Structure 1
Amino acid sequence: MTDPVRRHYERWPYPHYPLLAAVRPWDTYALSLDALYARFNGVLPAADARRILLAGCGSFSPYPTALANPGIPLTALDLSGANLRRARLHALLHGCRGITFERGDLLDPAAAAESYGFIDCFGVLHHLADPLAGLRALERRLAPGGILRLMVYSRGGRRGAESIRKALRLLGVDEVAAVKRLLRRADPDSRFRRYADASGETRFPSGIADAFLHPRARTYRIDELLALVASTGLQPLLFAHAGALTEPAAEAARLRELEVQRLEEPNFILYLGRQTAGGCGLAPDARLLLNPALRGAVVPWRLVSLAMPPRLGRENPRLDRPARRFLRRFVRPVAVAGLTAAERERAQPFVEALFLIPFRG
């Protein structure tokens, strides 16, 4: 019998962005293997860790991840052949190379069987029948020092969508066309209509299917997520959802308080590490390197196409000319010891933002 999740994505590849919709290379900096590995290990990844796995890649993420990591082998793994075909088209149309597209289940040890310095599992674990088995399978694929990014639904962040999803199941609604008819007839002040109007998901059919008709979706309280992680050898390193505090324990406490007060919660984005050594920051024996994805944003004379395709993603604050000039110094590694105290102070926010990569060696 075919997995219901696989059937869902064969019918509704997700996300369904226009094929020519583009991402600016310099907006992909947070997907850089070098930046993430050095952030939590204090060194750049060795040859056996210079590989990336997208575990449940969907129909789009191989393209921006490849932009962020030129020359680094990338494996895009997904249950759905429809997702992979569309992801391959995105990559082809935007000139991305070095991607291996593999149809398979992350629970299968034979799938994506190498070790990886960075694994991205964004919006996948909460769709598995056995999330702990999935997390352990990802752990086994991480190289020592490897980084795993997870995004899972929080109980509070999905409260509106889950109440609608359950109501539709009770009504026997299982087709996108039927959901659209209900939306058209819904009272503008109803929870259904207000959620749909506020969500970008409902602007396209696969978004409606993913938000309201998915056959398997679970949500987590923060302590449930941390208990899941504690059942593995992985260590929480950093929460990265909007508004997160930099210390994982402090952020977990903040999220517990939001749950108690039933205030608005984000879906959880969490970086985990396997045997990470700790970052080096602006240590005197470290060097600083510009995040490779940002080179196009700071070089002074870059060509810009006059016919710009649609752009995706949230607009980042613009770097002013002095900031670009400062960052340009680090296109090649610069010794921290050679910086003045004022320059080190100026560099610190760029290090925290992953714009600059501090590393030893």
Structure 2
Amino acid sequence: MNERVRLHYEKYHYPHYSLLASVRPCDTYALNRESLWARFNGKLPPSGKNRILLAGCGSFSPYPTSLANPKDEITALDLSRRNLSRAKIHALLHGCFNITWEAGDLLDNSKALGEYGFIDSFGVIHHLEDPLAGLRALEKRLAKGGIMRLMVYSNRGRREAESVRKAFRLLGIKDVPSVRRLIKRADKDSRFYRYVRDSHEATFDGGLADAFLHPCARTFRIDELMTMIGKTNLSPLLFAHTGALPDVSAEVERLCRLEKNREAVPNFIIYVGRETGGGCALAPDTRLMLNPVLRDYVGAFRVGSAAVAPRLGFPNPVLDAGARRFLRKFRRPVMISALAAGELDRARPFLRAMFLFPFRQ
């Protein structure tokens, strides 16, 4: 099956962005390894944990990950050499040189050797014949205290695309030109047409192929996802899809209710960890520090406001003049005991958004 998946991505690279498409560093805040480690371990990462693995990197993600972690060692692993080639060109065009490129299967133990402090596998394991085997293969590469981000298709979030994909398989439709001909002929009031009309994926061939022609795509109910994670030694830390609650158990209950009521459910985005130490309490001796990717956005000579793209499932605080002035003091660690009255409360929205992170020595 993985060979069929490889051939699929050799034919259709994914995702498709112009090679000139750029990302603001501030929008990569949720990929910063140092902030993630501190948030879920309560301390700064030790030396030697500065390796990042992009497991199934596709044709784009190495670039924003490098922006978020310019001093780290990043390994970009993908089945498809075409994906890797395009991702490499994109990264080099934007001055990202801290990436090692590796073609191969994440199930191959000879690939992506060693341990990693952060692993990002976004939209990957649901394309494996055995997603649990894939998750376990990634777990083996995750360092103690390390963080992993996963995105998998939800049963409810993917249901329209899966219905179309299964119908196309029965009809023997195997290429994008045939799909586009069907779209042109489709009734404008049909579910199929409305789905395509509203989907960003339909704007490029690789998106249509990924949505409707993929040789292996699995979906999960939330209980199935949590059961799979429970079969590893990984711990669920935080959901990050749109509308997610900050407490894992509460979010699982919410998603179960939505599924039971047959309501809309997003695809699942979750951070998991291996033997993480837990976040630290906001005690007097706790230090607060600015997420490194925001350092250039809080300078005294910045003008206007910056709306940072939401990556954790909720809208972010706006970086206006007042917010920048407040955050500027955290470019170096500040002990909570040194904060003025009311400043800890002011910091809380920025802590939740991971613009600031707490840690103890």
TM-score by length of 2: 0.95
Given the superposition, is the C-alpha separation of residues 340 and 316 from structure 1 closer, same or farther in structure 2, using an over 3 Å criterion? closer
> By how many angstroms is 1:282 displaced?
2.2
Counterpart of 1:246 in structure 2 is 246
Structure 1 residues 11-58: Cα deviation after superposition (integer angstroms, max 9, x where no partner) = 111001000011001111010001111111001111222111100000
Task: Confirm or deny: 8 A CA contact 1:25 1:296 kept in the other structure.
Answer: no
1:1-361 map, 5 Å? 3-301=3-301, 318-361=318-361
1:289 and 1:357 in contact (8 A); partners too: yes
**Dislocated runs of 4+, deviation >3 Å:** 312-318
* Distance in 1 separating the partners of 2:2 and 2:155: 28
Distance 1:42 1:290 in 2: 15
SS at match of 1:329: helix
Amino acid of the structure 1 residue aligned with 2:208: I
TM-score (normalised: structure 1): 0.95
Please give the secondary structure, in 1, of the residue aligned with 2:48. helix
Q: Which runs of 5+ in 1 are unaligned?
A: 304-311
* 8 Å CA contact 1:27, 1:316 repeated in 2: no
Q: Aligned-pair distance for 1:318? A: 3.5
Contact 2:229 2:235 (8 Å CA) reproduced: yes
Give the residue type in structure 2 aligned to 1:73.
E
- CA spacing shift, 1:235–1:76, aligned 2, 3 Å: same
**3-state DSSP of counterpart to 1:330:** helix
- CA drift of 1:316 comes to 6.2
CA separation of 1:263/1:182 partners in 2, compared to 1, >3 Å: closer, same or farther?
A: same
Q: For the Cα contact (< 8 Å) 2:2–2:128, is it kept in 1? A: no
Q: Aligned with 2:282: secondary structure?
A: coil
Q: Report the alpha carbon displacement of residue 317 of structure 1 after superposing the two structures with TM.
A: 6.0
Question: 2:301 aligns to what SS in structure 1?
Answer: coil
* Letter of the structure 1 residue corresponding to residue 151 of structure 2: M
Cα deviation, 1:141-160, whole Å, max 9, x if unaligned, reads: 11111111110000000010
**CA apart distance, 1:236:** 0.8
User: Paired residues, what number?
Assistant: 354
Unaligned runs of 5+ in 2: 304-308
Whichever residue aligns with residue 274 of structure 2, its letter is R
Q: 1:350 to 1:281 in 2, by over 3 A?
A: farther
Alpha-carbon RMSD across the aligned residues, in angstroms, is: 1.7
Task: Give the distance between the partners of 1:149 and 1:2, measured in 2 at CA.
Answer: 22
Native 8 Å contact 2:317 2:350 kept in 1: no
In structure 2, C-alpha distance between the alignment counterparts of 1:269 and 1:65, rounded to whole Å: 17
Structure 1 residue 130, shift from structure 2 partner: 1.1
Contact conserved, 2:32 with 2:293, CA < 8 A, in 1? yes
* CA distance in 2 between partners of 1:357 and 1:316 (Å): 15
> 2:251 & 2:2 partners in 1: Cα distance?
39
The CA deviation at 1:96 is 0.8
Q: Equivalents in 1 of 2:260, 2:236: separation in Å?
A: 22
Which residue identity lines up with residue 72 of structure 1 in the other structure? D
Cα shift readout 1:49-106 (whole Å, capped 9, x = no counterpart): 2111100000000000100112011111101000000000110011112111111111
What corresponds to 1:307 in structure 2? none
Offset from partner CA, 1:150-193 (integer Å, 9 cap, x none): 10000000010000111111111000011001001111111110
Equivalent in the alignment of 1:308: none
Q: CA distance change for structure 1 residues 281 and 13 in 2, over 3 Å: closer, same or farther?
A: farther
> Taking structure 1 as reference, are residues 316 and 250 closer, same or farther at Cα in structure 2, changes over 3 Å only?
closer
C-alpha distance in structure 2 between counterparts of 1:168 and 1:291, whole Å:
46
In structure 2, relative to structure 1, the CA distance for the partners of 1:313 and 1:276 (3 Å cut) is closer
Q: Would you say the 8 A contact 1:48–1:143 is kept in 2?
A: no
Whether the 8 Å contact between 2:317 and 2:349 is mirrored in structure 1 is no
Q: Return the alpha-carbon distance in structure 2 between the equivalents of residues 232 and 136 of structure 1.
A: 7
Question: Aligned equivalents of 1:228 and 1:317: distance in 2?
Answer: 34
Q: Give the letter aligned to residue 84 of structure 1.
A: L
How far residue 129 of structure 1 moved from its aligned partner, in angstroms, is 1.1
What amino acid sits opposite 1:350 in the alignment? F
Letter in 1 for 2:204: F
Q: Which amino acid in 1 is paired with 2:348?
A: Q
Does structure 2 retain, via aligned residues, the 8 Å contact 1:258–1:264? yes
Q: Provide the secondary structure at the position in 2 that maps to 1:52.
A: strand
| Distance (Å, rounded) in 1 between the aligned partners of 2:328 and 2:114 | 35
